[in-house]
Amino acid sequence: MNKFNNCLTQGKKYEVETLKYIDYDSYGFSQGKCKEWDIEIVKDNVKTYYEVKSESNAGKYGNIAIEYECNGKSSGVTATICNIWVHYAIMNDGSYIVYFIPIADLKNLISEKKYHRNIVGCGDGKRSSIYLFRMKDLVKWIKS
């Protein structure tokens, strides 16, 4: 299995895991290459959209990366229509810390430059740009 398929499999795993943290009447997962959201939740006839990401190096470095551009196009935080950004920080022992960050809060952190670093030209093929956040700066959004 190639790296893309491994990441896709891991992503789907955490989308399902996210349902354990949410009260809902019904849900649906995005299909195909949907950049805008991963899970649609309906509770009391209100739809809420979730974007779900996982960070396999979080335990090693203490950071999470939020992508905003890939191949010169909006992606990640700049392409989503989600209400809640869910980010799984995978620890060295395989456990995780999960953050549920309202998208408005995340965008405010970005506009106020509360990230640790802005990295252009990273990831596979140096095609992505990210905001790197220190996990310790996001503790208020940890979901238990």
Degrees (nearest 5) of the Cα angle 67, 97, 120? 20
The structure's pTM equals 0.91
CATH of the domain at 123: 3.40.1350
Whether 5 has a pLDDT exceeding 80, the answer reads no
List the one residue out of 28, 9, 20, 37 whose CA is nearest residue 98.
20
Q: What would the pLDDT profile of 19-61 be if each residue is shown by its tens digit?
A: 999 999 999 999 877 779 999 999 999 999 999 999 999 999 9
Could you list the residue range(s) of the whole structural domain that residue 20 is in? Answer: 3-143
Can you tell me the distance from the alpha carbon of 121 to that of 110, in angstroms, rounded to the nearest whole number? 18
For the chain, the domain total comes to 1
